[in-house]
């Protein structure tokens, strides 16, 4: 079954406006599915609740800057050594976006519980000593361990309605390979009802089967494959290119104010195609934009 879709078709068909729980893959400034995120902005797709990996970055901040997010479940949104996420912080402080505080362990184990069909998941000992669970009663509970009789902290399963992910390559059937660390992206794919994967290249199945690490995400989990070379920009794509720190600094400078954030969106996202974006940031000679 050929699951290859154009970028606009993938978002239009597979991500409903007002999606209940949208998971965005990648960690820090690595493997953010930015082509899919930008297309969400172009199509004005609102998100009832956004779920990041343990460390969200521009994949979350851009959606918030565009005014598309009502709630976010996360433990952190920032730009590593470049600073905090301006749109996220501003929206949360203003009460525009509600935060469900999560710790890294809960996001990781909660996705595994969602993937496994579990009603809840016991969390590692010691997390109950922090106050995160007190701030998010929706996701955490103190329960009794039936084996020891002790109280333990448990988390609700995380089952995204849609997961937007990045992989190095996939075949037309959706079998995808993530190069390097895949963070919680595979868990997102296993737990989500609908999975959309952007890739640097669509390749024959034979190439996927020859890959040293094998298939990271099996095709039966994937509903749409989008060939988007350069699609992680300005974040890094493992095995292909690093983060564009100059562009990230430009975004951070502009997004420091609501007006600047809108200016960035108008210049690089709204009313443009993804090819327009790549030409704007790399120039007409860019290999990524021309592939």
Quote the tokens at residue 63. Answer: 């959606």
In this prediction, residues 36-42 reach a mean pLDDT of: 98
In this prediction, residues 70-94 reach a mean pLDDT of: 98
pLDDT exceeds cutoff 90 at 271: no
pLDDT exceeds cutoff 90 at 206: yes
In this prediction, residues 144-155 reach a mean pLDDT of: 96
Percent of the chain exceeding pLDDT 70 equals 97
Instruction: Write down the pLDDT at residue 289.
Output: 40
Instruction: Write down the pLDDT at residue 76.
Output: 96
In this prediction, residues 255-273 reach a mean pLDDT of: 96
Instruction: Write down the pLDDT at residue 240.
Output: 96
CA distances in angstroms from 90 to 93, 94, 106, 291, listed in the order given: 5, 6, 25, 37
Instruction: Write down the pLDDT at residue 285.
Output: 56
Instruction: Write down the pLDDT at residue 213.
Output: 72
d(CA 252, CA 18): 27
More confident residue, 59 or 210: 59
Instruction: Write down the pLDDT at residue 290.
Output: 36
What's the mean per-residue pLDDT of the chain?
95
CATH, range 7-103+158-290: 3.40.1080.10
In this prediction, residues 91-107 reach a mean pLDDT of: 98
pLDDT exceeds cutoff 60 at 30: yes
pLDDT exceeds cutoff 80 at 200: yes
pLDDT exceeds cutoff 90 at 211: no
CA distances in angstroms from 46 to 14, 63, 83, 174, 291, listed in the order given: 13, 9, 26, 26, 30
Label residue 291 by pLDDT band (50, 70, 90).
very low
pLDDT exceeds cutoff 60 at 282: yes
pLDDT exceeds cutoff 60 at 287: no
Instruction: Write down the pLDDT at residue 129.
Output: 94
In this prediction, residues 263-291 reach a mean pLDDT of: 82
In this prediction, residues 243-267 reach a mean pLDDT of: 98
Instruction: Write down the pLDDT at residue 286.
Output: 52
In this prediction, residues 217-224 reach a mean pLDDT of: 97
């Amino acid at each position: 079954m050929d699951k290859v879709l154009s970028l606009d078709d993938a978002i239009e068909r597979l991500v409903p406006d007002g999606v209940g729980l949208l998971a965005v893959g990648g960690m820090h400034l690595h493997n953010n599915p930015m082509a899919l995120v930008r297309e969400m902005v172009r199509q004005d797709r609102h998100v009832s609740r956004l779920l990041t990996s343990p460390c969200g970055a521009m994949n979350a901040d851009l959606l918030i800057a565009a005014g598309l997010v009502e709630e976010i479940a996360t433990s952190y949104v920032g730009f590593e050594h470049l600073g905090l996420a301006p749109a996220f912080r501003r929206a949360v402080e203003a009460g525009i976006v509600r935060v469900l505080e999560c710790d890294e362990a809960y996001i990781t184990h909660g996705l595994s519980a969602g993937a496994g069909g579990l009603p809840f998941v016991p969390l590692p000992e010691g997390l109950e000593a922090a106050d995160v669970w007190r701030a998010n009663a929706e996701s955490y509970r103190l329960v009794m361990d039936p084996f020891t009789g002790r109280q333990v902290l448990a988390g609700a399963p995380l089952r995204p309605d849609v997961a937007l992910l990045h992989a190095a390559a996939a075949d037309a059937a959706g079998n995808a390979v993530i190069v390097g660390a895949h963070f919680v992206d595979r868990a997102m794919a296993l737990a989500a009802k609908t999975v959309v994967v952007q890739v640097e290249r669509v390749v024959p199945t034979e190439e996927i089967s020859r890959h040293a690490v094998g298939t990271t995400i099996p095709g039966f989990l994937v509903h749409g494959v989008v060939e988007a070379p350069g699609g992680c920009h300005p974040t890094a794509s493992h095995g292909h290119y690093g983060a564009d720190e100059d562009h990230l600094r430009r975004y951070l400078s502009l997004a420091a104010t609501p007006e600047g954030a809108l200016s960035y969106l108008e210049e690089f996202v709204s009313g443009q195609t993804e090819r327009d974006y790549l030409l704007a940031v790399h120039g007409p000679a860019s290999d990524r934009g021309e592939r």
